[in-house]
Structures are given as structure tokens and as C-alpha cells.
């Protein structure tokens, strides 16, 4: 080894006795130049990260507020609708009934109040129905056929996404209409049927075949479906209610499930209920059961065969013409969790209390109280404390609640009659993270793998469609990203503006910053990172009141027979003003702060004919000294100082 090599080998940055280290950051601020300059970094906003359907919420709010303008000849409402249905083909429905976890996650909560995302979504969804805006046309036919078993939110969402990709889709539905829980699990005053039909019809109009009144395992065999189709998606929902885990529940005729109660009501078969009801639950389903009971009322001298449990069990149906005058129903809704900890949305709890429903939180059922005829006359209850999701009874707090019907709304599972081989042993179907089952060519989505929100099932439909598409192409099904949502794609944005990069010649070269084949000064971290509020410049945003939808509140003395829709949508100005409250977390919204405050005039606006979302400003690195001011004043956290991070 020569002396030069030995010296290089023995080099030490710090020598014996050194007690200080270089303050590199301070040197950067004091220097006349720096290698640490702004980079424009796209990250997922928390509203989208919280949305189970993965909506590009920030993207379509940009359209509504007028920042992202449609191509010439298209109304902004239509452009916003197109952006919405990339993820969710039911904006009018979800704008009404989704409990909006996106609003809980909204960074605007750190300033004043969340952005009314649901309200804007409802406005655009209703506008699209009124103006008969269709869904995108399918791609060229692939020659592949997929059976979607179940026409609820997961099945319809998947059918739409598969049809967009050019696959032939057949929905096999055991009911006489499509919609699943949107139709048979939610009352019409929450999801108006004309609105729901319009959103479903748009999907069918794309060329989706529908076979109603057909149950696989009963009317057709599983084997025949496998032979006819290239892939099978199970989206059969969780239509079987969980019984209360107390003695005598199973053998008692007037103890019924919440999903069964709502199913027969939404089919028009249940016209009245009992004088007193107990609903055990705490979620949105239990609220719906209690609210429906208060609306349909009871009949004092109903015939024996017209007992409501006979309708729920499918033995009969109420004759509308034969029912007498209805009277109020006394409803008590019980929850293991305290009232403020119930899983039902806060506004649903408030509506229930206003409508005369008594809610008792922190209590658990112990046993069914029975009369000499073997019918339930109430429940033995006690107060409880929660250890996670497990109730712990408090001794000495036992009490009785009396009722003529007891409804269990504590959860759901799948109905596997004729399909027992697909049951994972717990009343559901098992899949991997791509929603592929162990059985070749079979996939599952929605409540049948994990009961949750309607928008969760819609999100499952998008993901499983991607998996089925990869399977039909005979390729590997890709892993899902860490942040699994419908991401903004800058290249797609540039293409629609005819600003896409030029072709790359695939030859080595220097000075690529002057070439047109690359997108410069931009990094996309949206599949890995959700931007938190502490990386925004919140001081930019003044407090602004939320533009609220008008909610129709019904008092307890007016609820009987009232099936009026409970929310009125925003008008055009209200929707635009509300969209403007969006803080555009993780994406430039063209506020000009970086341009105004840059002391070196290094940050500049892109020429008007070259602008697109995410491409509004650029940096002249020959002028930039790395002072960080542009990052500090960026309201949205879009600017990060680049040092190879």
C-alpha cells in the first residue's frame, strides 16, 4: 500500500480531544448559496386517508372551488362528478348517509371546523342526476367475463370498475332489485329511492348484465357459475343478524334481528310494530330500527297473524288497506358503551333523542324475560364497564326493561345456505389483502369479509376490481400501497392539458433540467405518507364558518308517519364557498405565498399556458440560497427543502 492510500485509510473526521462538531444547519442559513432548495412534494391529505373508498376529495374540491378548471365545453359540476366517480359511483347516496370519517380527519379541525365534504359531495351527486350525466364509457372489450354475486355497494362498485376496464360483467342478485344494504338496510327517508335508482341505473347502462331473483347455491350451482365465467366475485353482504348472547334468545318468537326488521320494512311488508320495543345495539343500524319503529307506530288491536315478528320471520306480510290507526311506539335503545361512546354518528344520536327515542348507555343484557306463553316481555339488564370491546357487569346494578318486542342490532354475518364450503367458520369469507380467496379465480369484497360502512364496501369494490383485472391478464396481483387510495396522478393531469412530457430517447445525457422528457422538481410520496396538520402553515387560514346543509329536525310528537328526507342540499354558491375552505393539504393551491415572500425572486409562476394542478410554481436554483422561507410560508405543506430525503 502506498503512502497516499495509507493516509486516506487513516483519515478521521474528528481527532482525539475534539469536543465540538460543525453546525451544518447554521452554515446553510448563513451561506450565500445552499444545496438545500425547495422540492414540490405531493402527499395524501388526511381526509382522503380517512375515507374508506379512497376518494380524491382534495381533487374534486379543487374543481368545485374553481382552481382546477375543466376542459373547454364541460361544466365544472360534470368535471367534479367525473373526479368523484373515479372512486365512488354513488356520490348522491354517500353524500347523505356516510358518517364521514373524512371530516373527522380533516386538518381544518385545527383551525375552526372541518370542511363539509359530505355536503359538497351531495350537491355534485344531485346535480349529476338532475342533468343525467353518465359514467365513463367502458374500455375496449377484453373478452373476459366476471360474475359478481351480490348487487349491493361492493358488488355494484366492482361491476362498475371492471366494466370501465372492458370486462364483461354479470351481477347475480337474489333479491328483486339491486342496492343491497343501500336499499334493504337503510330506510328511504335517508336514501331516497329515486336517487338510488338513478345512481344504480348509470352502472347498468354501461353494459352490465343483471340476473335478479337468483341465488347461487339454490337457483344455480356454484359449479355452473365457475364454468360460465373467468372469475367470480362474492359480494353477498352480511344479511344475517347476530343473536343476543343471552339465555332463551333463540327460542323466543318476538326476539328478532335488526337487519331482518329493516329488510321487511324496506320491502314494504312491515307496516306497524309493537307498542313497546327494546333495541340492543349502539350503531347506525340500531338507530335506524328505532327511528323506523317510531315512524310506523303500532296498532292497538292488531290481528294475531299481524304480529310484527311474523312478518320479520317471513310468515306473512301486513296488508296496508287492512291496518288501523297507528299510535306511538315507546322505544328504548341500549348500548354497552356510554352514549357519547356509541358507534352511531353523533347527529344520528341527536336525531333519535329529538324524535323521542330513549337511549341508555353503559348497560348490558343478561337474560330474556318471558311470559307464561313463552314470549319475551323484556330483558334483564345491568350496568357495565368496558374492557376494550368486552363488557364487565357491575354487581348490584341489575334491573328490568319491559317490551313487547326485542331487537338485536349488535352485528351481522353472512348467510351461507347452499354455500357452506365458502364459510371460513366464523360466518364470513377469508381473503388476502388483495381480496383474493384461496379458491382459484374467486374473490370477495364488502361486508362478507368485514362488516363496516357502505363506503368501505365501495372501496373494496375498487380494490378487488384491480385484483381481478390483474388476474384476468394472467399477471401477478400487485401488493397494495401503504396509503391505499385513489391517488392524484400528475402525468394524467398533464396529459389532459396536452402538457405531457416528450418521449425519452433512452440515451445518457447531461443537463436534463433543460429537456422536456422529465417532470422536474416534483416528488410523489402520496402512496406512503399522509400529511399532518403540524406541517402546514395554519396561520394562513382565517376562521370561516362552515356552510351547513339545512337539516330537517322532527320533534317526537310529529315523527309518527313522517318519512320526509332529513337533509336539504347546499345551493351552488354554498357548495363553492364550502369547497374554498379546503386547505389543500399536501398540494399547491396557488396562493402565491412562496412567490411573494422569496427574498431572492428564485420562486416564480409557471407560464399560464404550461400550468396544471401541482405545476403552478417553479424554482430557479441558480438564485435559491436555501433560506427555507418558501417552505415556512407554504400553507399546504407542498414545499419541502430537498437534501436527498
Confidence category of residue 645, pLDDT binned at 50, 70, 90: very low
Sketch the domain layout of the chain as residue ranges.
23-43+489-525+586-645, 145-239+414-472, 245-413
Confidence category of residue 7, pLDDT binned at 50, 70, 90: very low
Mean pLDDT of 110-121: 97
Residue 8 has pLDDT above 50, yes or no: no
Task: Compute the distance between CA of residue 547 and CA of residue 562 in angstroms, rounded to an integer.
Answer: 27
Task: Compute the distance between CA of residue 56 and CA of residue 639 in angstroms, rounded to an integer.
Answer: 20
Task: Compute the distance between CA of residue 124 and CA of residue 127 in angstroms, rounded to an integer.
Answer: 5
In degrees, rounded to 5, the angle at the alpha carbon of residue 287 between the alpha carbons of residues 286 and 291 is 120
DSSP 610: G
pLDDT score of 337: 96
Confidence category of residue 126, pLDDT binned at 50, 70, 90: very high
pLDDT score of 644: 40
**pLDDT over 90 for what percent of the chain?**
82
pLDDT score of 26: 63
Q: Which helix (H) or strand (E) holds 97?
A: helix 91-97
pLDDT score of 628: 87
pLDDT score of 30: 57
345-382 pLDDT per residue, tens:
888 999 999 999 999 999 999 999 999 999 999 999 99
Mean pLDDT of 21-35: 57
Task: Please state which of the ranges 24-33, 147-156, 529-538, 619-628 shows the lowest mean pLDDT.
Answer: 24-33
pLDDT score of 315: 87
Is this structure's pTM higher than 0.95?
Answer: no
Mean pLDDT of 198-208: 98
Computed over every residue of the chain, the mean pLDDT equals 92
127-152 pLDDT per residue, tens:
999 999 999 999 999 999 999 999 99
In degrees, rounded to 5, the angle at the alpha carbon of residue 270 between the alpha carbons of residues 264 and 276 is 110
268-308 pLDDT per residue, tens:
999 999 999 999 999 999 999 999 999 999 998 777 788 99
50-60 pLDDT per residue, tens:
999 999 999 99
| Between 627 and 101, the higher pLDDT residue | 101
575-597 pLDDT per residue, tens:
999 999 999 999 999 999 999 99
Is there a shared CATH topology between the 23-43+489-525+586-645 domain and the 145-239+414-472 domain? no
Assign a CATH topology to domain 23-43+489-525+586-645: Alpha-Beta Plaits (3.30.70)
From the DSSP assignment, how many helices (H) and strands (E) are in the chain?
21, 23
Task: Compute the distance between CA of residue 429 and CA of residue 445 in angstroms, rounded to an integer.
Answer: 9
Task: Compute the distance between CA of residue 400 and CA of residue 379 in angstroms, rounded to an integer.
Answer: 6
Task: Compute the distance between CA of residue 461 and CA of residue 161 in angstroms, rounded to an integer.
Answer: 8
DSSP string, 536-574: S-GGG-------PPEE----TTT-TT----SEE---HHH
- For residue 370, give the 3-state DSSP assignment: strand
CATH number listed for the domain at residues 145-239+414-472: 3.50.50.60
482-510 pLDDT per residue, tens:
999 999 999 999 998 999 999 888 888 87
Report whether CATH 2.70.70.10 matches the domain 245-413.
Answer: no
Task: Compute the distance between CA of residue 437 and CA of residue 233 in angstroms, rounded to an integer.
Answer: 9
Angle in degrees, 0-180, between the axes of helices 117-130 and 572-579, rounded to the nearest 10: 140
Inter-residue contact 111 to 91 (CB < 8 Å): no
Chain centre distance of CA 356 = 30
pLDDT score of 12: 53
Amino acid at each position: 500500500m502506498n503512502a497516499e492510500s495509507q493516509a486516506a485509510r487513516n483519515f478521521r473526521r474528528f481527532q482525539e480531544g475534539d469536543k465540538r462538531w460543525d453546525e451544518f444547519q447554521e452554515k446553510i442559513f448563513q451561506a450565500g448559496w445552499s444545496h438545500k432548495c425547495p422540492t414540490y412534494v405531493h402527499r395524501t391529505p388526511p381526509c382522503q386517508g380517512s375515507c374508506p373508498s379512497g376518494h380524491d376529495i382534495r381533487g374534486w374540491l379543487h374543481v368545485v372551488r374553481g382552481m382546477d378548471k375543466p376542459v373547454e365545453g364541460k361544466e365544472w359540476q360534470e368535471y367534479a362528478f367525473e373526479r368523484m366517480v373515479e372512486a365512488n359511483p354513488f356520490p348522491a347516496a354517500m353524500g347523505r348517509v356516510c358518517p364521514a370519517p373524512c371530516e373527522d380527519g380533516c386538518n381544518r379541525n385545527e383551525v375552526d371546523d372541518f370542511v363539509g365534504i359530505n355536503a359538497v359531495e351531495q350537491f355534485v351527486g344531485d346535480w349529476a342526476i338532475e342533468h343525467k350525466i353518465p359514467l365513463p364509457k367502458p374500455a375496449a372489450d377484453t373478452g373476459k367475463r366476471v360474475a359478481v354475486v351480490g348487487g349491493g355497494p361492493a358488488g355494484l362498485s366492482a361491476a362498475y370498475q371492471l366494466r370501465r376496464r372492458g370486462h364483461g360483467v354479470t351481477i347475480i342478485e337474489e333479491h328483486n332489485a339491486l342496492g343491497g344494504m343501500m336499499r334493504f338496510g337503510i330506510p328511504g327517508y335517508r336514501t331516497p329511492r329515486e336517487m338510488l335508482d338513478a345512481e344504480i341505473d348509470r352502472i347498468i347502462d354501461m353494459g352490465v348484465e343483471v340476473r335478479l331473483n337468483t341465488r347461487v347455491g339454490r337457483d344455480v350451482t356454484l359449479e355452473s357459475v365457475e364454468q360460465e365465467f373467468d372469475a367470480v366475485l362474492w359480494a353477498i353482504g352480511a344479511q344475517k343478524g347476530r343473536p343476543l348472547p343471552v339465555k332463551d334468545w333463540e327460542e323466543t318468537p318476538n326476539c328478532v334481528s335488526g337487519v331482518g326488521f329493516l329488510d321487511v320494512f324496506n320491502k314494504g311488508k312491515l307496516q306497524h310494530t309493537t307498542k313497546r320495543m327494546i333495541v340492543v345495539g349502539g350503531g347506525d343500524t340500531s338507530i335506524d330500527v328505532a327511528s323506523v319503529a317510531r315512524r310506523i307506530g303500532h296498532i292497538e288491536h292488531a290481528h294475531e297473524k299481524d304480529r310484527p315478528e311474523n312478518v320479520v320471520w317471513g310468515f306473512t306480510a301486513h296488508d296496508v288497506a287492512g291496518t288501523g290507526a297507528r299510535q306511538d311506539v315507546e322505544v328504548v335503545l341500549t348500548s354497552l358503551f356510554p352514549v357519547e361512546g356509541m358507534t352511531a354518528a353523533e347527529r344520528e344520536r341527536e336525531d333519535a333523542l329529538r324524535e323521542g327515542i330513549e337511549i341508555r348507555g353503559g348497560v348490558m343484557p343478561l337474560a330474556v324475560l318471558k311470559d307464561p306463553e313463552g314470549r319475551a316481555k323484556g330483558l334483564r339488564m345491568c350496568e357495565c364497564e368496558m374492557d376494550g370491546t368486552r363488557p364487565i357487569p357491575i354487581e348490584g346494578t341489575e334491573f328490568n326493561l319491559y317490551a313487547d318486542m326485542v331487537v338485536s342490532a349488535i352485528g351481522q354475518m353472512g348467510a351461507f345456505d347452499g354455500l357452506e364450503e365458502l364459510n371460513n367458520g366464523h360466518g364470513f369469507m377469508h381473503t388476502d389483502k388483495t381480496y383474493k380467496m384461496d379458491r382459484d379465480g374467486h374473490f370477495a369484497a364488502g361486508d362478507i369479509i368485514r362488516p363496516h360502512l357502505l363506503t368501505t364496501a365501495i372501496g373494496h369494490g375498487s380494490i378487488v376490481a384491480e385484483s381481478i383485472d390483474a388476474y384476468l391478464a394472467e399477471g401477478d396481483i400487485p401488493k397494495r400501497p401503504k396509503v391505499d387510495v385513489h391517488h392524484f396522478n400528475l402525468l394524467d393531469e398533464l396529459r389532459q392539458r396536452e402538457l405531457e412530457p416528450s418521449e425519452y430517447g433512452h440515451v445518457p445525457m447531461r443537463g436534463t433540467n433543460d429537456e422536456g422528457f422529465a417532470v422536474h422538481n416534483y416528488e410523489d410520496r402520496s402512496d406512503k405518507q399522509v400529511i399532518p396538520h403540524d406541517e402546514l402553515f395554519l396561520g394562513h387560514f382565517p376562521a370561516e364558518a362552515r356552510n351547513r346543509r339545512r337539516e330537517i329536525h322532527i320533534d317526537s310528537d310529529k315523527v309518527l308517519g313522517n318519512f320526509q328526507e332529513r337533509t336539504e342540499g347546499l345551493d351552488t354558491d354554498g357548495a363553492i364557498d364550502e369547497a374554498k375552505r379546503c386547505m389543500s393539504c399536501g398540494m399547491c393551491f396557488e396562493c402565491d405565498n412562496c412567490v411573494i415572500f422569496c427574498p431572492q425572486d428564485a420562486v416564480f409562476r409557471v407560464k399560464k399556458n404550461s400550468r396544471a394542478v401541482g405545476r403552478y410554481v417553479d424554482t430557479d436554483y441558480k438564485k435559491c440560497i436555501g433560506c427555507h422561507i418558501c417552505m415556512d410560508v407554504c400553507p399546504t405543506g407542498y414545499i419541502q427543502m430537498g437534501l436527498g430525503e
